[in-house]
Structure 1
Amino acid sequence: MSGPQQQDGRGVGVERPILFSGPMIHALLDGSKTQTRRVVKLPKWIASEEHGQAMQALAKHPAGVSMRGPCDGLRTFLCPYGKVGDRLWVRETWNFSDASTLSEPKAIYRAGDERSISDPNWRPSIFMPRWASRILLEITDVRVERLQAISEKDARAEGAAAEFEVNVAEFVHGRKLPASTHYLGFKHLWKEINGRESWDANPWVWAVSFRLIAPAPAPAPAKEGETGYE
């Protein structure tokens, strides 16, 4: 196999769907989540013995790389979430609003709806059509890194709350509680969604940063002494 080459031949402004859970929908809407991490899944045409080389190449050129197999021509592997400037429309748990008509369908959303979240009529996020999506994101950065390499700043940008871990034996013997960090909050959140074994495996992940396009972000609160109307 020949060495990997940087590759990014896609057009500008492509839109793709992306799924988020209910708590992360709230974080997107309140502006506390501006990053997401997703496990890198290499295509089958990249031989297992070449995975290390492929990942090192992606770490340098996260937009995508081209690699040549032993029996075929050059193939390209691109970030499935897009590149800087591309947009992501968010899929979430939803249903048709009572006000919907055949000519003018309208959606309601489980995240933020006043009805019981156990309502059996909710439709899974995977089946949300483009017209029903209320959240649009624009990619501002794409990186490839190990999951556990996330910084405290980036863990906060993931929308993770600050948490701490306690060694019960040490706590019983008078040790002070450790300081809470967003890193630990992200660690606990990842394990809750993906399983403890996924965190322990420390996989390579796409680290995608974005900004909220729609709905429009809420204005920053006025500083002390300001009315907010200037």
Structure 2
Amino acid sequence: MTDRPITFSGPMVRALLAGTKTQTRRVIKPRGRLSLFDGTWSDSYVLDPGNAGWRAKDVRILVGDRLYVREHWHAEVGYDGTSPRDIPGGNPVWFVADGKGPAADAFKPGRFRQAMHMPKWASRITLHVAEVRVQRLQEISDEDAIAEGIEDVTREIAPGDTSLRFWKRYRDGGWNGYVDNPIGSYASLWTEINGPGSWEANPWVAATTFEVERCHIDQARAA
């Protein structure tokens, strides 16, 4: 059991805070196994029970791990010339996912900082890993797609109609902004994050299920 960082985009951070995101999928990156051919895993390699130990070494996040969430952020403007690792812990942070800037009497936010550069002390969300499954990306179910935090836009598209349900179409070239099935919505989200052709590539992924605790990892419950 290990404490690890994990990065999320603004919309996914908001889904975590809203309690609508309890899963994430990350591409498994093999590390030079002799059984690899042209850089990809064959079905026989991945599914062979004898390779469970090898798979565990390639799946970075494991059951029992705690994950502290990194997200886009701003430190106080006075630290604009300071590396994130050199900003003293406990200083004010503005989280980009929150949308509005700080109140007028609050600190003045400095330059935009990428999620990958957020120090551990600035994290506000902790995830407790409950399950990890190795599967193809397109094996995702409707229930899993919803658990990924896709946005339900039914009220915007068909207000008052309880017989219909619509989900956001993310940036994949769609013209109408919504789809009528969760997997289609998630496929467009995956494409937005990972680029054209990434959904069609159908890579092996680690499907991680977790519980969300809205606090710094040092205040979170033990693994």
TM-score by length of 2: 0.69
Aligned to 1:108: 94
Q: Residues 46 and 26 (structure 1 numbering): CA distance in 2 closer, same or farther, change over 3 Å?
A: farther
Counterpart Cα distance in 2 of 1:104 and 1:164? 37
Q: Residues 106 and 153 (structure 1 numbering): CA distance in 2 closer, same or farther, change over 3 Å?
A: same
Aligned to 2:66: 87
TM-score by length of 1: 0.67
Larger radius of gyration: 1
Counterpart Cα distance in 2 of 1:93 and 1:164? 22
Counterpart Cα distance in 2 of 1:164 and 1:18? 24
Counterpart Cα distance in 2 of 1:61 and 1:88? 29
Q: Residues 204 and 104 (structure 1 numbering): CA distance in 2 closer, same or farther, change over 3 Å?
A: closer
SS at match of 1:193: helix
Counterpart Cα distance in 1 of 2:78 and 2:191? 39
Q: Residues 103 and 93 (structure 1 numbering): CA distance in 2 closer, same or farther, change over 3 Å?
A: closer
Matched, 1:142 2:146: no
Matched, 1:34 2:13: no
What are the within-5 Å matches in structure 2 for residues 67-216 of structure 1?
Answer: 77-81=57-61, 83-97=62-76, 102=88, 104-115=90-101, 121-161=111-151, 162-163=166-167, 180-215=180-215
SS at match of 2:60: coil
Q: Residues 147 and 93 (structure 1 numbering): CA distance in 2 closer, same or farther, change over 3 Å?
A: same
SS at match of 2:197: helix
Q: Which has the larger share of helix?
A: 2
Counterpart Cα distance in 1 of 2:78 and 2:197? 44
Structure 2: state its 5+ residue gaps: 80-86, 103-108, 152-165, 170-177, 217-223
**Would you say how many aligned residue pairs link Structure 1 and Structure 2?**
178
- RMSD of aligned alpha carbons: 3.1
Q: Residues 190 and 55 (structure 1 numbering): CA distance in 2 closer, same or farther, change over 3 Å?
A: same
Aligned to 2:160: none
Structure 1: state its 5+ residue gaps: 1-11, 68-75, 166-177, 217-230
Counterpart Cα distance in 1 of 2:196 and 2:116? 24
Deviations 1:38-92 (A, max 9, x none): 11110024442383243224xx699x5238xxxxxxxx724212x2221111110
Shift of 1:160: 1.1
CA contact (8 A) 1:164 1:181 kept: no
SS at match of 2:69: strand
Aligned to 1:227: none
Pairing partner for 2:41 from 22, 45, 51 = 51
Q: Residues 86 and 185 (structure 1 numbering): CA distance in 2 closer, same or farther, change over 3 Å?
A: same
Counterpart Cα distance in 1 of 2:199 and 2:97? 26
Deviations 1:151-182 (A, max 9, x none): 000000001134388xxxxxxxxxxxx97111
Q: Residues 199 and 103 (structure 1 numbering): CA distance in 2 closer, same or farther, change over 3 Å?
A: closer
Counterpart Cα distance in 1 of 2:54 and 2:88? 46
Q: Residues 88 and 164 (structure 1 numbering): CA distance in 2 closer, same or farther, change over 3 Å?
A: closer
Counterpart Cα distance in 2 of 1:46 and 1:22? 38
Shift of 1:106: 2.6
